[in-house]
Amino acid sequence: MQTSTLKELKIMKGMQTNLVLVGSGYLGESILAHLENCETIYDVYEVSRTLKKRDGTIKHLQVDIDRSVINLPVGKNYKVIYMAPPSTTSLDDDRMSNFLNHNSKHNITQIVYISTSGVYGNHDGNSVDELVVPNPITDRAIRRLSAEKQLVKFCNKKSISSIILRVPGIYGKGRLPLERIRNREKLISLEESRVTNLIHVNDLARVTLKALEIESNEIINVSDGSPIKTTQYYLHIYDALKQPWPDFITFDEALKKYSSKRLSFLNESRLLNVDKMNMLMPGCIKFQDIREGIRDSLF
């Protein structure tokens, strides 16, 4: 009761923090669901290309950030969580460039960018911390690194905080590879399977909201802290569904059977060091055990 009263008093006194969710989609939904648990009171502007129905507490703005300025009230300070995927018009992220150019007039005080751990490229299963020089090998990761560089340059020029979260595979409700499991696609043998990193969408939402409290410029690796072989991840899902395991194949056989997009993930292997995340954002990761995260995502 006291917490609710305190929140109401803050709202009455205009003490909310203005938060803009740019490219709000799957992660955005989880972030919105976790706002109630935040000590900070956020006045939220949700920006997406598709129209969404929200209640009165969320101000939804249907905007194509490739072409338009976000019509935000003047005279306010804004924190931004940028979740929009890169454009594919070039190997630069032109979408990020357009967003920064179109909206530079707004008084933005911080931008949290959801990037990808793919910017590191392949490290053959070895540990990677934030000091490792990026070496992306896929087009999508090259574009993400382009977005990071644009953001850092923009924020340094404006003297505002930039937080870059380098995120691995996201899973959660509606984001498990259930079609592949229904089709009983063959898996690479455990011996040859590569190490991957994952994070439950709700954990990522908590990390992202915690990042808004950081006032410095940071690059932070994000994951559940429990690297796992890709094949073992699938087997845990089979076990949760009480389904028999599929057949196994060698890595060389997978090169002939898997799609090019799926192979692009398999060609990269690294172990994300998340010591910095744990230091700056303690208590955000609730699903360190992937099996618990899978059960939460299924049932």
Q: How confident is the model at residue 52 (pLDDT cuts 50, 70, 90)?
A: confident
Weakest-pLDDT range from 88-92, 151-155, 221-225, 260-264: 260-264
DSSP SS3 for 290: helix
Please indicate, yes or no, whether the overall pTM of this predicted structure exceeds 0.85.
yes
Give the number of other Cβ atoms within 10 Å of residue 141's Cβ: 22
Residue 136 has pLDDT above 50, yes or no: yes
Phi-psi region of 23 (alpha: psi -120 to 50; beta: other; left: phi over 0): left
Q: How confident is the model at residue 70 (pLDDT cuts 50, 70, 90)?
A: very high
How far is 269 from 133, CA to CA, in rounded Å?
A: 16
Q: What share of residues in the chain are helix, strand, coil (percent, to 5)?
A: 35, 20, 40
* Residues 295, 240 contacting (CB under 8 angstroms): yes
Which residue from 98, 95, 147 is spatially nearest to 119, judged by alpha carbons? 147
Weakest-pLDDT range from 54-58, 126-130, 232-236, 270-274: 54-58
Q: How confident is the model at residue 5 (pLDDT cuts 50, 70, 90)?
A: low
Strands (E), 168-215: 169-171, 187-188, 195-196, 198-200
DSSP string, 87-137: PSSSSS-HHHHHHHHHTTTSEEEEEEEEEEGGGG---TT-EE-TTSPP---
Q: How much is the mean pLDDT over the chain?
A: 93
pLDDT at 8: 56
Question: Dihedral angle at the C-alpha atoms of 142, 146, 147, 151, nearest 10 degrees?
Answer: 150
3-state secondary structure 214-237: CCCCEEEECCCCCCEEHHHHHHHH
Average pLDDT score over residue span 2-9: 52
Residue 21 has pLDDT above 60, yes or no: yes
pLDDT at 13: 44
Tell me the domains of the chain and their CATH numbers: 2-173+198-225+271-286 (3.40.50.720)
Residue 86 has pLDDT above 80, yes or no: yes
